[in-house]
């Protein structure tokens, strides 16, 4: 469990971290948090954070939640990045088989209740995977959704004795793409097909030119978060946060 003194120290670094690089944030997290992991979806922009992490420590555990509904291209991309970046501890984690059999035996829950499906296949799975860690690195950015507009660099996790580290929180729209080009990093193969934000296959669609990159996630539902990043311990519709569908 992360000591309260260390938690307070990290939260107190937020003002200073605003002017530091994402690499410096990861270096600080690696030095200060004894049990640190990274959570990666191996989605459209995931290579940025993984490339930064690899410059600090390639052995940091990377938790890859396989919901069993991912695009095959995502699973292949995970293997490509592991080899390209030399990552040594990627942990592919599956949902609990008994829970799936009991609550979504037909694999159709996403059609009627996507929040429940995300909770079953992703949120609970991640909670179990993070149980032994003191902190975890995420790729969230303030520009992505209304919920993330005031995202701090170091964040106390709601309802858990852990710190969330958001090295890319203050990156502007387009910065990740420029970073990928600058470092000649491999892109997720679905990006070239019009998928700007990539999650589970049934709940991800292409976006049209001019659309918000996350418009293709849960299209037709009032939902923009999978549930691993929640507000006050629960799902909050974007409209309630002053955002849009």
Cβ neighbors of 111 (< 8 A, separation 6 or more) are 202
| Stated pTM of the model | 0.85
Active-site position among 117, 118, 203, 226 = 226
What's the pLDDT score for residue 221? 64
Mean per-residue pLDDT, 50-67? 97
Domain 4-186 of CATH type 3.40.50.620: yes
Q: What is Dmax (Cα atoms) for the chain?
A: 49
What's the pLDDT score for residue 161? 82
pLDDT tens for 167-190 read: 999 999 999 999 999 999 999 999
What's the pLDDT score for residue 233? 39
pLDDT tens for 121-165 read: 999 999 999 999 999 999 999 987 777 888 999 999 887 889 999
CA-CA-CA-CA dihedral for 52, 57, 60, 62, to nearest 10? 30
Q: Is 203 part of the annotated catalytic residue set?
A: no
- Quick one: which H or E segment has residue 106? none
234 pLDDT exceeds 80?
Answer: no
């Amino acid at each position: 469990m992360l000591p309260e003194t260390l938690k307070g120290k990290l939260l107190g670094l937020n003002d200073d971290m605003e002017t530091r690089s994402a690499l410096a944030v990861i270096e600080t997290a690696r030095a200060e948090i004894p049990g640190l992991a990274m959570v990666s979806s191996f989605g459209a922009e995931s290579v940025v954070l993984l490339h930064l992490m690899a410059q600090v420590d390639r052995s940091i555990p990377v938790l890859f939640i396989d919901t069993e509904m991912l695009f095959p291209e995502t699973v292949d991309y995970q293997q490509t990045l592991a080899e390209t970046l030399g990552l040594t501890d990627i942990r592919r984690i599956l949902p609990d088989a008994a829970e799936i059999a009991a609550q979504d035996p037909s694999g159709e829950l996403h059609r009627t209740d996507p929040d429940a499906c995300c909770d079953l296949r992703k949120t609970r799975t991640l909670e179990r995977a993070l149980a032994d860690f003191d902190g975890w690195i995420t790729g969230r950015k303030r520009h992505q959704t209304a919920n993330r507009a005031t995202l701090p660099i170091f964040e106390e996790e709601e309802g858990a004795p852990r710190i969330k580290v958001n090295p890319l929180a203050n990156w502007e729209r387009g910065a990740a793409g420029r970073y990928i080009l600058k470092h000649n990093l491999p892109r997720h193969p679905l990006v070239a097909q019009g998928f700007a934000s990539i999650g589970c296959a049934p709940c991800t669609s292409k976006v049209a030119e001019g659309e918000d990159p996350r418009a293709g996630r849960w299209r037709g539902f009032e939902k923009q978060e999978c549930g691993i990043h929640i507000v006050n311990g629960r799902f909050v519709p974007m409209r309630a946060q002053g955002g849009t569908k």
